[in-house]
Amino acid sequence: MQVFDTVTGLQTYLALHRASQTIGLVPTMGALHAGHLALVAQARTECSLVVASIFVNPTQFNNPDDLKHYPRTLEADLALLEAAGCHVVFAPTEAEMYACPPVLRLSFGELEQRLEGAHRPGHFNGVGLVVSKLFHQVQPQVAYFGQKDLQQCLVVQQLVQDLAFPLQLRRCPTVREADGLAMSSRNRRLGEAERQVAPRLHQSLQRVVQSAQQGAPVAQALAQARAWLEQSGAFSVEYLEVADTEQLRPVTQLTAGQTYAVLVAAQLGPVRLIDNLLFQAGA
């Protein structure tokens, strides 16, 4: 496995292989878990050269404390990637990625004005900046993202469409712990008591889906699930909504046969957790 911390080194190596290899990119912020490794595994089935990036991108953090405490485990990450069969790792410094403070502002319209965008102002501008840089630097034919960050997937899809990046996006299923908790690098910051109650986040989504599919009004399904989640006294819920799957517009009524997303974000101790499920409305 080749490891590079400079754009020049990375691009010099990739130039030798670009003509004969299909390049797949797995962007990460490190602190890797089985969810990331599933993306690498999917990339290996479709691409002959898999590149993983590890970069804690400061421009997408609107909370300085979250950036400060975001786990950084580079050596362990490299060992995991090598064992997973990753071919190339790009792990730049902040100075390498941002030689000068960026002044460009990216707007994703109404998609960034709700849910994560509403609660994390500027977050998707930072995501768009770093993903654009990585797409230019690596020039992959395929890029892999996890569905746990559904809104981010849709933002990147908009980015690719509007800027005509010549690549395909793969949205891979959320990988979960045995108790249903969506795998996240932030989970390692949960205390023992918090970790015990954390699966309720996923269970709240399941409750919304079950109620909605049984014919309960959307507002009622959401209110009951939110109340159940908050009964534990451990969660501070930022949002719990049912939305369409294209622009994440909130919906109040379901159409039979249509696919919807139910999304949640909540603070649990020192950690902000997000999750989502896709479901089809019943008859």
Q: Is the pLDDT of residue 255 over 80?
A: yes
pLDDT tens, position by position, 44-93: 999 999 999 999 999 999 889 999 999 999 999 999 999 999 999 999 99
Looking at residue 282, its pLDDT comes to 83
Task: Tell me the mean pLDDT in the region 8-31.
Answer: 97
Q: Is the pLDDT of residue 198 over 80?
A: yes
Based on the fold, state whether residues 119 and 197 are members of the same structural domain: no
Residue 25 in any domain: the answer is yes
Residue 178 in any domain: the answer is no
Residue 181 in any domain: the answer is no
Task: Tell me the mean pLDDT in the region 227-238.
Answer: 96
Looking at residue 149, its pLDDT comes to 97
pLDDT tens, position by position, 169-190: 999 999 999 999 999 999 999 9
Looking at residue 210, its pLDDT comes to 96
Residue 50 corresponds to which amino acid?
V
Looking at residue 241, its pLDDT comes to 98
Based on the fold, state whether residues 162 and 26 are members of the same structural domain: yes
Based on the fold, state whether residues 114 and 226 are members of the same structural domain: no
Work out the number of other CB atoms within 10 angstroms of the CB of residue 37: 20
* CATH classification of the domain holding 10: 3.40.50.620
Give how many domains the chain has, as a whole number: 2
With a pLDDT cut of 70, the percent of the chain lying above it is: 100
Residue 119 in any domain: the answer is yes
Domain end position, chosen among 172, 200, 232: 172
* CATH classification of the domain holding 205: 3.30.1300.10
Residue 180 in any domain: the answer is no
**17 — pLDDT class (breaks 50, 70, 90):** very high
Looking at residue 45, its pLDDT comes to 98
Burial class of 98 by CB neighbour count within 10 A (0 to 12, 13 to 18, 19+): middle
Alpha carbon distance 173, 159 (integer Å): 21
Could you tell me the residue range of the domain that residue 221 belongs to? Answer: 186-280
Q: Is the pLDDT of residue 114 over 90?
A: yes
Domain end position, chosen among 147, 172, 197: 172
Based on the fold, state whether residues 82 and 219 are members of the same structural domain: no
Residue 73 structure tokens: 């485990």
Catalytic (active-site) positions:
36
Q: What is the DSSP string of 146-173?
A: EGGGHHHHHHHHHHHHHHT-S-EEEEEP
Based on the fold, state whether residues 213 and 99 are members of the same structural domain: no
**283 — pLDDT class (breaks 50, 70, 90):** low
Based on the fold, state whether residues 27 and 149 are members of the same structural domain: yes
Based on the fold, state whether residues 232 and 108 are members of the same structural domain: no
Give the chain's radius of gyration (CA, Å). 19
Element (H, E) at 229: helix 218-230
Mean pLDDT of the chain: 96
